[in-house]
Homo-oligomer: A and B are copies of this chain.
């Protein structure tokens, strides 16, 4: 509930000897729900925090003039010791119960209606739900079964009624917008394509080992592959009257998932990609022959082959063509890469492009870190993938930490030129050097632009822990 309005800011500023200008001193207050955060019964925090909020000032401003509880409930991922520690520094007082006002926003658990999930998933956060398949399941099949496909939700899962569902496609200036039911969408030619999705934060946990980052602690499973089917975005845009234009433009997507203020998840891709039939961007309604599971965007999600997962907007509600990228937090204030020298004090999100195509990637799924393997021979398995439709042309494996290399066998069919949207699984069977007590297994992939993976994590470390495509390393013991 609101305790301190902007009007009281100057006084508080003085009291707290803050350096911020009054305009920036947007005082927030928090009177937490006892059952939710019993360890912090009530506190307020100050304006300086606005400037350094990891999610950006815009996200924090959503709560200005209102209670924080619904945000705590939505961004439940914040309910961690390091966040509490960080906030403690900004505590400027406690509220008298007399000052409390009744909340007008819903504060019940917005995740209560989330679907049930497969127990094999390694859960990263429950609210919002983020989980990955364990390595031993990840590459068992070329196509990841729907129940264990990695899930990256930013907000509660909306419960969409397929009968009343409508997709709004804004028309060009002067033109008419489309309002498509599912049946309308089924009337477009059905297009199928096998696509690997990868979160920008895949393998973040390795980056954290070098130096702390902020983000979900993904292991190597924030990547999965499915056969998607749906209407091509270019067909739908064409029906709405859109054409490629000379100037740069962007197709903006909005999800039906939203935060307590009604702000939806959003992202955008360049119009040139959206309009290119060869880019095979889909408005997908099927995943591996089934209607999309709720966690993966039922009834319709965007699938953008070769592009970071964050642009594959789920529970798609609206599509529009704009002169600029989506103004969504996730397009402009997240999912960008920075130099290792950039920290939360110096980061300028406008200075880096939004992540679209991802770099070449590979990882070892067998054996696992710390495992003890039999002497004699080792079988190493894993995946390799590159963004932008670039094919994987080779995977090198080292058993000695990168001193010498062997070429792994790529499984499955040759990939389509310029449309290698899905991963290649690979394996290497190799005799073990006699007397070896441990192995430092390493893999690295090469794509058809001959891009390679960097040797180490430190030089690509970045404050959000995205884009970790350093060589993957697994240390194992050899049974005597």
**A interface residues with partner B (beta carbon < 8 Å):** 248, 270, 272, 278, 337, 339-342, 352-353, 355-360, 387-388, 393-394, 396, 402, 404-407, 417-418, 444, 446, 448-456, 459-460, 467, 469
Contact = CB atoms under 8 A, between A and B. Distances in A.
Contacts of A451: 359-360, 449, 451
Residue in A357, A444, A451, A455 whose Cβ sees the most chain B Cβ within 10 Å: A451
Nearest to A406: B341
Contact of A456 (B406, B455, B469): B455
A455 B459 contact: yes
A207 to B, nearest CB: 14
17 contacts: A272-B418, A337-B394, A337-B446, A339-B394, A339-B396, A339-B405, A339-B406, A341-B406, A341-B407, A357-B450, A359-B450, A360-B451, A396-B459, A405-B459, A444-B459, A449-B451, A452-B460
B456 A396 contact: no
Contacts of A404: 340-341
A449 B417 contact: no
A187 to B, nearest CB: 25
Contacts of A449: 356-359, 387-388, 451
Contacts of A396: 339-341, 459
Contact of A454 (B358, B388, B452): B452
A110 to B, nearest CB: 33
A20 B446 CA distance: 35
- So how many copies of this chain end up in the complex? 2
Contacts of A444: 459
Contacts of A359: 449-452
Contacts of A360: 451
A141 B87 CA distance: 51
Given A402-B459, A405-B341, A352 B454 contact: no
Given A340-B396, A394-B339, A356 B405 contact: no
A467 B450 contact: yes
Which 9 pairs across A and B sit closest by C-beta, in order of nearness? Answer: A455-B455, A357-B449, A359-B451, A451-B451, A341-B405, A359-B450, A339-B407, A450-B467, A339-B396
Given A418-B272, A467-B450, A353 B393 contact: yes
A337 to B, nearest CB: 5
Nearest to A341: B405
A352 B394 contact: yes
A348 to B, nearest CB: 10
A387 B460 CA distance: 20
Contacts of A352: 393-394
A394 B417 CA distance: 28
A174 to B, nearest CB: 26
Contacts of A454: 452-455
Contacts of A450: 337, 355, 357-359, 467
A73 B290 CA distance: 67
Contacts of A340: 396, 404-405
